[in-house]
Structures are given as C-alpha cells and as structure tokens.
Chains A and B, each alone.
Chain A
Amino acid sequence: MRRIAALLLLIILMQGASVCRAEGIDDAYEALAASAGSISAASFNSVRLGIEQLAVSGDPRAAAVIGALQDGLLYANDDHALFIQQPDGSYADARTGNPAPDVTDDDVKAVRINNAVRSAIEAALGSLQLFAPDVPTRLAAASAVFTSHNPAALPALTRALAKEADPAVKQRMEQAKAAAIVYDPDASQRDRLAAVATLRARGDQDARSLLSTLAGQTGPVADAAASAVTAIDRVLQIWSVAQSVYYGVSLGSVLLLAAAGLAITFGVMGVINMAHGEMVMIGAYVTFVVQQTMHAYVPSLYQISLLIAVPMAFLVSGAVGVAVERSLIRWLYGRPLETLLATWGLSLVLQQVVRSLFGANNRDVDTPAWMSGATQLGGLTLTWNRMYIILFAFLVVAALMAALRYTSLGLRMRAVTQNRRMAAAMGIKTPWIDALTFGLGSGVAGIAGVALSQIDNVSPNLGQGYIIDSFMVVVFGGVGNLWGTTLGALTLGIVNKFLEPVAGAVLGKIVVLILLILFVQRNPRGMFPLKGRAVES
C-alpha cells in the first residue's frame, strides 16, 4: 500500500508540468481510478467525487468516460491511468480517446462501482446531457437533475442555463436549479426562498415531495415550503378531480359504445337481446381479421386497418343482426321474457362458434402508432387511445341520432315504433324495417367492438362483460332515449371512477350496481321517463 502511494507521488511529481494545465480534471481522473483493485468505502467515495468533479468540469471527454464507467468498460492500470475498453477488446486512453495499443488485459483492472457511485453516474450523465444538441435530451436531462436535486450539478446547470435558448427547457432547468438550491445548505436564504417560489409555481407531485421534506424543518425557508405545499396540494386536488372526471368520461364512453346499439334494439324496438354483447365481440374479431389481412397482404394499410375495420364490423355484425331478427326475434315479438331466454341461448351459440373458429385464447389486436402514447395537459395525463375512443363514441352516437332523424330509413323506423299498424297502412314494409332496425343496433354494437379491441382482451367472452352494464345504462338513461343513454353512460362512468379510489375497484362496482338497482326500483322508467298515457299500456 505504502509503495503504491509513494509511486503515485512520484508519478505526479514527474508529470508536474502537464498536470498544472488542468489540475482539477487530473485529480478527477486520478480519483476515478481509486476503486480499481480496491473496494473500500473510501475508494468508492473517491470515485464518486471524481465523477462529480468531472461532470461539472466541462471536459469534452467527460461523457464518454462516465458512460464507460457506467457500462463497466473503464479500466485503470497500476499507475492509475484510465483506459476505455473498445468494442473489439482493445483499449483507448480515457483522457484523449487515442488508441493505446500497448495496453493488454493483464495490465489493467476494472474500475468498480457500487450503488452510491451508480446514482452519482446517473446524475452526472444527466447534467452532462444538459448540453446535448437536441431539445428532448436536454429536457430529459433537466428533469433528471430535478429528480436528483444534487447541488453538485449547480455549476453545470448555471452554465447550461446561460446557453439555453428553448423556453421550455429553460424553465425546466430553472426548476432543476431551484430543486438543487433548496437542498443546498450553503446557498443564501434569499436564493433558497426564490427556489421555493419556483417550485411552488411548478406545482406538481414532484415539487410537492421536494418541498414537504423541507416543510418539517424550522426557519423562514421551511415556512415558505410549508405554505407552498398547501398551495400545491390545492392545485393537485383540482387536477386529481379533473383526472377522475377524465377517467370517468373514458369509462363512460366505453359504456356508451356498448350501450348505443342496445338503445336501438332494446330502447326503440323493445327487444331484449342478451346476445348484444356477442355482436360487440364479433366486431372485435372482425377488427382482428382485418388487421391480420392487412398485415399479410397490404402492409401499407396496416396502420389504418382500424379505420377499415369500422365499416366492416358494422356490416358483419349488422348482417348477423338481420339474420337473427329474421330467423329468431320476429317469432317472439311481444314476449320479452321468451326473447330474453332465446337470445341468451343464441349468445352461447355465437360464443362457441367464435371459440371453434379462433380458439378460446385472447387474440392480439395491435394499437396503431398514431393511437399510442399520451399527452400531458397541465396535471392531466391523457392517453391517445382513450382520447380517440371518447371522440369515437360521441361520433357514433351523433351519427346514430342523425341517421334516426334525417334518413328515410330513420323516419320509417320511428314511424313503425310509434304506430306499427298505421305505418303498415301507409305502405311501410314493417317486417323489413324491424330487420333493418335490429341490424342497425347490432351493427353499432359491432363498431363498439372495434373500439373495445383496443382496450380489452379480444376473446369469445368479451361481450359477456358488457351486457349487464349496457342494460343498466339503457334502463338508467330512460328507454328509447339516446340522450338519456349518453348521459346515463357518462354518469355511470364518472360515478364509478370517483368511487374507485374511495372503495376500491371491485367494491366500487358493487356499490354502483346496488345504487343502480335502487335507482331502477325507484324510477323504473329511467332518468328521463317518457310521460303520457302511452306508457301505461
């Protein structure tokens, strides 16, 4: 040990002239070598200090050296000279990056790291990336520094801030700087108070957790932190309510999609179709088939296969619906309980058919790139696929309302449901209108299947999970009323999501079901009952 130290001293003395040029940096390199061959706490500490020094030095080689250390490719020889192992196994001088052909594996030992060192590496790399040419990397680096809030990064941050042009990155860097300063006992009180104000302005969960640690202490900074925490809590609470509403709307839109078709078949026609969920399921499988076909034959359209699946699912489920109406439902008009049983049987058969064709396992339907990812809106996280589904659900309902109101088929449908005999007398072919109405409702269910394939498992049991909820939505909203269905779905979705954090997901659902049961018992005709004598019959 002593011999090594003596040798070290000698080397330093010998290289004196060049060392003078950048003493700090050389110390840093020196320190890094400490844990090569030695794994005492002191040596790791030395490495850690070396990393921090190097990181703020501005040395152009710093990133490469620290990166190599992270990857376990940094080696030192007995003279504490550092080398980076190249991908081909040869070595290069760490300071200069020049090849060092004389060095062999026997000459060097790996520089060891422990957890403390590892986090120092991450922080260091983070601050190094503050100078990266591309904006996202700099942004990420600033965030990393914010998270580590290591005062050691302050010099680097200050320099980076001076150079930074992008306002978003600049803001993030300032927050990172503030995070580092509030924890820096050496900083002036004025700076720290300013830093608290910056963090308070940021106002998110991370800022809160930084401040809350301080708030427990005493002194003006702590007081400022405490009041900042309260302020942030208020903001966060509003955001969390907004987030719950968003999740609720998202769930509601799914319920709405599943129930929209039922609002036609059950709400308008009065047919209890227990196989409605299976129409949804068929739509989801159509999506799967369309996507597979695109993948195999027309890869260029793969990304938009969902858009192609929408009309396909409508047609396939709609056709199944028409066939079911013609072969089964029409014999059972006016016998709702029998219809319920027969369509339940039908749902078993349809499930088994799909199981025989596609197997019992879940099928993967990919989410196209344009639907993946999320965006941040203030304190809200909005995932794209959910956003699209919300949008899609409202589009579907709007289209359905328009179809009922403005098309000639819609006119006839309304005529038949309002006064069947009169409609028949006017020359409307009521059996065909029945079949087409049922087909329309089933087709809409198929469309719902396309959307659900994005968020649920595509399996033969897909539809079963939605049938009770869908009926509840239609009954809750008031039978025969698409507005009611829409509001019913959204209300149920939001109530569900607000109950979840209080009661847990399963219990929340149970509570909603029980509330619904009580509601239906109180208002058997839903939120928006149709009034008048026609109801009595």
Chain B
Amino acid sequence: MKLDRISYLTLGFVLGVALVLALLNQMTALGSALHVPTYVLALAGKYLCFAMLALAVDLVWGFAGILSLGHAAFFALGGYAMGMYLMRQIGTRGVYGNPNLPDFMVFLGWKELPWYWYGFDWFGFAMLMAVVVPGLLAAVFGWLAFRSRVTGVYLSIITQALTYALLLAFFRNDMGFGGNNGMTDFKDILGFNVQADSTRSALLVISALLLCGQFLLARFVVASRFGKMLIAVRDTESRTRFLGYRPESYKLVVWVLSAVMAGIGGALYVPQVGIINPSEFAPGNSIEAVIWVAVGGRGTLVGAILGAILVNFGKTWFTGALPEVWLYALGAMFIFVTLFLPRGVMGLFRARTSKEPEPEAPEVAAAHEVTG
C-alpha cells in the first residue's frame, strides 16, 4: 500500500504531537514554562478519539455513500463498555463502599449485579465488548436496512432514530447503566490511577497509535478492490447488481467495520474525559461528527482526521472565549461547507495538484435508466 505525502504528514503530526505533549508533561517540572498541564493532555486525547469517530463516519459516508446520523451511538456504546469496566474497578472505594455493586445500583436499591454486567471487571472482556456490541448492533441494523435497499436520506433518518431510541433507553435508570448521570468518578485502569499524569500521557499516546492504526486499516480497505467496489456502489449502486455484485454485503462489511472503529474511539474517550452519560447518544453529536468530515473533506480519510481536530479545537476555543458565538459558528460552518466547500479543506489542497471535477452527488448520478 502506497501512502501519499499528506497521509505521511498527518500520521507524523498525530504521533508527533501526542508524543511531544506526553513527554513535555512527564519530563518537565510543574512550574516550568514548557510544562504541559493535564487538561491539555485530556483535550488532545479527546480530539484524537473524535478523529477516530470522524474516520469511521468518512469510511461509510465518503466511500459507501451512507450518511450516518447515528454514528455517535456506536462511539457511545464503546464508551459504555469501557465505563462499565472502570466502574467495576472502583470496587469498595465508592461512596457506599459496596464491593459487589456500583454506587448507582446501591442507590437504586438493587440487590445484585445484572447479568449483563458479568465479566466487565476483566479488561479483556470489556474491550471485546467495546467492539462486539457496536459491531453487532451495526450488523443487525445494516443487514435489515441494506437488504431492503433503504438508501439516501431515508437511511440517514432511521440512523438518527436509532441513536435517538438509544438515548431514551440509556436515560432510564432501570436499564442498569446509571440513568441520566451515567458513570463517572473512575479510579483505576489496569491498576493505574486514571487521574495520574502518567496514565493520561500513556492514554494519549495509545490513542494516537490506535488512530494511526485505524487510518492505515481504512486506507488498506479503500485501496483494495473492495474499496473500489465500494466507490462504485456509492455512485451507481444499481449498476453493480447487473455486474453480479451484491452491494448490500459490501455496505454491511464496511458499516460494521466503521461501527467497530467508532466503538474503539469511544472506549478510549471515556477514561480521558472521565465520564460517560446518555448525552453522548444525542442526535446532534452524530451530526456534528458528520460536519467534521465535511469540513476536512469527505472521502479523503486524512480530511476526517484533520476536520475532527480542527473543528473541535475551534469549539474548545470558542466555548471558552465566546460561548454565545459557538453555535452560530457551528451552524454557519454547516452551511458554508455544503455551499462553498463541498470537498472540504482537503479540496483546497487537491485543487492545486489535480484537476479532478467536483464529485457529482450520488443521488443525481444514480442510474436513470428509465425509458420506453
């Protein structure tokens, strides 16, 4: 697999910044001018996790034409799996000091651990669930949707309904996932203190490595014959059937892969922000992830990473400096990018190097083979 220069630069940037931040945090003294405070590590880690979500969205939207407005659901499910592990690690250090039950269950008066919490005190199992649960949900949903040829906006709207249904479900206390408070006050991960700078630094570097790994995996997929077929499915799905392909199985594979990638992002997100609650399922989150991709450049993978980091950096800055303005800025970004920058920031780079025409919208390009 050959990588272009921008891919190398992006990988180098992600790894380099993560390493430098982690080293500066670990090697310099607290008062030093070079010292990187903990919250910067947490922020950077958060951006990288969002970048994984964006990468997942780009894989399905950019290459298979599936505009998912529910991808944050997979992210959040991965996060919940990690959250459950972290809750189990609290042990007797909770407010109620109950060795068998997390605090919120004691509070609700539960007597024993629900069966679906079994195994989550074991890290390996929790991480397995962080990929299996989103993957399984995606498989069931995708199998139903793609098989019955639900496409375009209809698919987008039902993905949004999916995450909305999960949002409502996770708000319920009797689901056993902490209700609207979710899970927080984590103590240890694999025996290391989650709050400690060293753990934070390690988590940041791990996030960077996993992001790069996901990027390489995504590159491998889109560069393969499978990826070429995916693009063909995106632009002219009906045509591929007459060549003997089953586009639904191609979409299903990439859809499940994408959900798993999002789930991994979510699992790394939780220990770094220290909380997981149902608001992660909010439909707005999924749509925001789409705008990261749109800003960076749909169908470029690198653009998804850059877009996620760029937009979230902007969000952090705006909500700190001018909180009122952020929603205006976000809203305007949606409008501006769709109207004037359909290929995103990456489009600006590419425009200089090649003269590729603007990609036609898939719906327009879809085969219109209707005549008498």
- A contact set with B: CB distance below 8 Å: 272, 328, 331-332, 334-342, 344-349, 351-352, 356, 468, 471-472, 475, 506-507, 509-510, 513-514, 516-518, 520-522, 524, 533, 536-537
Q: Contact check, B338 vs A341: say whether CB atoms are below 8 A apart.
A: yes
The answer on a CB contact under 8 Å between B370 and A341 is no
Contact B361 A337 (CB under 8 A): yes
Closest 8 CB pairs of A and B: A345-B334, A348-B331, A349-B331, A352-B327, A513-B165, A345-B331, A342-B338, A335-B361
Contact B331 A334 (CB under 8 A): no
Q: Which of B69, B169, B334, B363 contacts A348 (CB 8 A)?
A: B334
Hey, which chain A residues are within 8 Å of B364, CB to CB? 334-335
- Collect the chain A residues with CB atoms within 8 Å of residue B115's CB: none
Is A506 touching B171 in the complex (CB atoms < 8 A)? yes
B67, B164, B335 pick with most chain A CB within 10 angstroms: B335
> What distance in Å separates the Cβ of B140 from its nearest Cβ neighbour in chain A?
11
* Whole-angstrom distance between the Cβ of B286 and the nearest chain A Cβ: 10
Chain B hits for A331, CB < 8 A: 339
Bitwise interface map of B from 135 to 171 toward A, beta carbon under 8 Å scored 1, else 0:
0000001001100111011101110111011001101
Decide yes or no whether B290 CB sits under 8 A from chain A. Answer: yes
Asked if A328 and B149 sit within 8 Å, CB to CB, the answer is: no
Q: Which residues of A contact B327 (CB under 8 A)?
A: 348-349, 351-352
From A334, A522, A537, give the contact of B148 (CB < 8 A): A522
Residues in A neighbouring B368, C-beta threshold 8 A? 537
- B168, A510: Cβ atoms under 8 Å? yes
Assuming A341-B294, A346-B335, is B157 touching A475 (CB within 8 A)?
Answer: yes
Once A506-B172, A510-B168 are accepted as A-B contacts, the answer to whether A517 and B335 lie under 8 Å apart by CB is no
In whole angstroms, how far apart are the Cα atoms of A314 and B157 in the complex? 27
A-B contacts at CB below 8 angstroms, number: 125
Alpha-carbon separation in the docked complex, A507 to B149 (Å)? 28
Shortest CB-to-CB span from B307 to chain A, Å, is 13
Contact across chains for B161 and A472 when beta carbons are under 8 A apart: yes
Cβ A521 vs Cβ B172 within 8 A: no
- Closest Cβ of chain B to A38, distance in Å, is 46
Residues of A within 8 A of B164 (CB): 468, 513
Q: Could you say which residues of chain B place their CB within 8 Å of the CB of A339?
A: 338
Please report the C-alpha to C-alpha distance between residue A516 and residue B162 in the assembled complex, in whole angstroms: 10
Cα distance A514–B162 in the bound complex, in angstroms: 7
Least distance between B199 CB and chain A CB atoms (Å): 36
Residue-wise, chain B 174-209 has the 8 Å CB interface mask toward A (1 for contact) of: 000000000000000000000000000000000000
Given contacts A332-B338, A340-B156, contact A349 B165 (CB under 8 A): no
Q: In whole Å, how far is B237's beta carbon from the nearest beta carbon of chain A? A: 13
A382 to B195, CA, bound (A): 57
* Chain B residue with Cβ nearest A526: B154
Interface size class of B (residues with CB under 8 A): 35 or more
Residue of B nearest to A517 (CB): B158
Q: How far, in angstroms, from A520 to B145 measured CA to CA in the complex? A: 9
Contacts of A341 in B (CB 8 A): 287, 290-291, 294, 334, 337-338
Q: Which residues of B contact A348 (CB under 8 A)?
A: 327-328, 330-331, 334
Of all chain B residues, the one with the shortest Cβ separation from A518 is B144
Q: In the bound complex, do residue B168 and residue A509 qualify as a contact, i.e. CB atoms below 8 Å apart?
A: yes
- Find the residue from A344, A514, A520 having the highest chain B CB count within 10 A: A344
Question: Which A residue's beta carbon lies closest to that of B339?
Answer: A331
Query: Is B333 part of the contact surface with A, judged by Cβ < 8 Å?
Result: yes
B145, B148, B337, B338: residue with the most chain A Cβ atoms closer than 10 Å: B338
B4 at the interface (CB under 8 A from A): no
- CB neighbours of B283 from chain A (8 A): 468
A341-B334, A510-B169, A513-B164 given as contacts; is B328 within 8 A of A349 (CB)?
A: yes
Q: CB-nearest residue of chain A relative to B334?
A: A345
Q: Can you name the residue of chain A whose Cβ is closest to the Cβ of B294?
A: A341
A524 vs B153: C-alpha distance in the bound complex, in angstroms?
11
B322 to chain A, nearest CB (A): 12
Chain A neighbourhood of B172, CB < 8 A: 506-507
Residues of chain A with a CB closer than 8 A to B361's CB? 334-338
With A340-B156, A341-B334, A351-B327 as contacts: A517 and B290 at CB distance below 8 Å? no
In the complex with contacts A334-B363, A516-B161, A521-B144, A272-B331 CB distance below 8 A: no
Chain A hits for B171, CB < 8 A: 506
| Distance of B318 from chain A, by nearest CB (Å) | 12
Contacts of B291 in A (CB 8 A): 341, 345
CA separation between A348 and B285, bound complex, in Å?
A: 13
- Chain B 283-310 against A: per-residue CB contact (8 Å), 1 yes, 0 no? 1000100110010000000000000000
Question: A426 to nearest B CB, angstroms?
Answer: 23
Residues from chain B with Cβ under 8 Å of A337 in the complex: 67, 152-153, 156, 361-363
Q: List 7 A-B contacts (CB under 8 A).
A: A337-B152, A337-B153, A342-B339, A514-B165, A517-B141, A517-B158, A521-B144
Whether the pair A520, B154 counts as a contact (CB closer than 8 A) is: yes
Write out the residue numbers on chain B whose beta carbons fall within 8 Å of the beta carbon of A517. Answer: 141, 144, 158, 161-162, 165
Contact A338 B338 (CB under 8 A): yes
CB of B98, distance to nearest CB on chain A (Å): 27
Instruction: Report the Cα distance A340→B290, complex, angstroms.
Output: 11
**Pick the contact of A336 from B149, B158, B363 — CB < 8 Å?**
B363
Q: Which residues of B contact A509 (CB under 8 A)?
A: 165, 168
Interchain CA distance A506-B169 in the complex, whole Å: 7
State whether the Cβ of B332 lies closer than 8 Å to any Cβ in chain A: yes
Task: Render B103-123 as a binary contact track against A, CB cut-off 8 A, 1 for contact.
Answer: 000000000000000000000
Roughly how many angstroms separate A345 CA and B333 CA in the complex, as a whole number? 7
Q: Is B158 in contact with A349, judged by CB distance below 8 angstroms?
A: no
* Minimum distance in angstroms from B142 CB to a CB of chain A: 10
Q: Is B342 an interface residue (CB 8 A)?
A: yes
Residues of A within 8 A of B162 (CB): 513, 517
Contact indicator A536/B370 (Cβ below 8 Å): yes
In the assembled complex, B356 has its CB within 8 A of some CB on chain A: no
Q: Closest approach, in angstroms, between the C-beta of B72 and any C-beta of chain A?
A: 14
Q: Tell me the complex Cα distance, A389–B63, Å.
A: 46
Residue pair B161, A521 in contact (C-beta under 8 Å): no
* A271 smallest CB distance to B (angstroms): 10
Residues 347 to 372 of chain B near chain A (Cβ within 8 Å): 361-364, 368, 370
Complex-state Cα separation, A347 to B370, whole angstroms: 37
Q: Which of B313-342 contact A (CB under 8 A)?
A: 324, 327-328, 330-335, 337-339, 342
